[in-house]
Amino acid sequence: MKITICKDERSFDVTAAWRIIGQILEKPGAVIGLSTGQTTINMHGVVAEIFGKYPFDISRVTLFNVDEFINVPPDYPGSCYNTIYGQLVKPLGIRAENFIMPPTISDDLEMECLEFERRLAERGGADLQLLGIGLNGHVGINQPGTPFESETWVSHLDVDYEIRIRSETGIGPATKLGGLTRGIRNIMQTRKLILIAKGAHKADIIEQALLGPVTTDIPASVVQLHPNCEVLLDAAAGEKVKGLAGVY
């Protein structure tokens, strides 16, 4: 496990963007997993900005997101599909068939989990996964307590996410909300992981995930076992692990 701490948020965004671009330049047919949230907005913007100035070949690149909300309208702007589409797929001109996502609504979610993994497998599996970390240590939507052998499944949302989505969509309590997420086993089968975090509010959970025991209580701690994992942080998020890291 390599820990890289960037000197500030802008440096983090640029460095993370180049990790994505670097994977594409190294393997033009790369299969790249993304994450949504405040951590990734600006880094995706940097990728799009660089592509706009210095176009590179994306014709064979496949993008997907590690998770997706379920039982929200397909046009919900906060869905992972719409977020990644607006931030990267549209600016880069990724073809529709090269953007792999499960639907937000389905009569057979178990089948959708299997289909999601089948589509990734037929392209050779994931080469790179950018992986955010929640304040409780979740990765994807694998909440604390998720078994490490879990495979792509439908998990519950944490309370803050659920409140926000219900507020934004008007979905009442009678409708179950959740997230279709790649399981921890699937995530760990990715050829390269980059765990990303920025902001002082992530410093405690980063310390626990990287320096504490590997435990399902903190799902992100499993990255300690991955043979090709980089942890990429800004200075604030990396404050409590800076003695172990290289600094940009």
Tally of domains within the chain: 1
177-208 burial, b if ≥16 CB within 10 A, otherwise e? bbbbbbbbebbbbbbbbbbbbbeeebbebbeb
Q: How far is CA 247 from the centre of its chain?
A: 23
Which residues pair with residue 231 across a beta bridge?
A: 3, 195
Domain containing 71 — which CATH number? 3.40.50.1360
Q: In 3-state terms, what secondary structure has residue 228?
A: coil
Which are the contacts of 86, defined by CB distance < 8 A and separation ≥ 6? none
Q: What is the pLDDT along the chain (248 residues), one digit of tens a residue?
A: 999 999 999 999 999 999 999 999 999 999 999 999 999 999 999 999 999 999 999 999 999 999 999 999 999 999 999 999 999 999 999 999 999 999 999 999 999 999 999 999 999 999 999 999 999 999 999 999 999 999 999 999 989 889 999 999 999 999 999 999 999 999 999 999 999 999 999 999 999 999 999 999 999 999 999 999 999 999 999 999 988 876 55
- What six digits make up the tokens of 246? 């290289």
Which are the contacts of 147, defined by CB distance < 8 A and separation ≥ 6? 184, 216
Whether the CB-CB separation of 74 and 169 falls below 8 Å is answered with no
Residue pLDDT, tens place only, 84-103: 999 999 999 999 999 999 99
The pLDDT score that the predictor gives to residue 123 is: 97
- What six digits make up the tokens of 157? 């949302």
Residue pLDDT, tens place only, 191-236: 999 999 999 999 999 999 999 999 999 999 999 999 999 999 999 9
**Which residues span the domain enclosing 232?**
2-247
